[in-house]
Amino acid sequence: MTDARTALAQAAERFIFSPTARLDAELLLAHALGIERNALLLDLTRLVPDRFWPLVERRARQEPVAYITGTRGFWTLDLMVGPGALVPRVDSETLIDAALRHFKGRRPTTLLDLGTGPGTLLLALLDEWRDARGLGVDRSPQALDYAVANAKACGMADRARFVCGDWATALTGPFDCIVTNPPYIGTGETLSHEVRGYEPASALFAGADGLDDYRALAPELRRLLAPGGAAVVEIGHEQAPAVTSLLEEQGFRVALHRDLGGRPRALLAH
């Protein structure tokens, strides 16, 4: 059997397509060993089980690490995720930060997450606002299966409800805070095989210019927000001017929030 140090180096060499090749290998080995990554790094002389290598083969085919391990950390939570659900991204934590900053000193009690996927944004905010209740909407039954499971695992099943539907259709509101990470990639844009080949197209693409879902969402946000409420919308880093215009046409005041890389990532409309 191979020791962990050697196995990690060998696995990382197979993942040259990934900018986080070494991290990918560490996460997969920790998963195979049934331990936390930090514990793995404390002892790289341990022997590697045979079950690690099939995981390496899956990652070498560019399957997302989160699909292989079945989990992805987001904000303060570990969320279950798999095929049919968009993998939570650290950039989306910008929306959580923006919402918390905007409502500092206040505690929204009614939340709505449009395009909730595995419950990513809704559950992160419910974990911060313990008196709040929320509704997550998604068109994918597969994604909602993960959302329901995550709510139970996080101890929020009594505060989170999920429905299968197309955006805000048939919703009445009002909601104090609405969050949404809609599809915003143009159909002609180039994506890695890791994304295009595995993650659900319905959660990625939004027409030729990537703005179709924003056009549908903007008037619904105005209709569903409670007085004094706010909506936080994820955007692609070149979409701020176009989406800002769509929101301003609905009478919103709009503030831009940047991700940790300094790129435009979220718009807060109120």
Annotated binding site: which residue ranges?
Answer: 115-119, 138, 167, 181-184
Residue-wise burial string across 21-39, b where 16 or more C-beta atoms lie within 10 A, e elsewhere: beebbbbbbbbbbeeeeee
The CA distance from 177 to 116, in Å, is: 14
Please tell me the chain's helix, strand, coil percentages from 3-state DSSP, rounded to the nearest 5. 40, 20, 40
Q: What are 256's two structure tokens? A: 């831009």
Give, rounded to a whole angstrom, the gap between the first and last alpha carbons of the chain.
Answer: 59
* Binding site residue list for S-adenosyl-L-methionine: 115-119, 138, 167, 181
- Which residue positions form the known binding site for substrate? 181-184
Is the Cβ–Cβ distance between 15 and 59 less than 8 Å?
Answer: yes
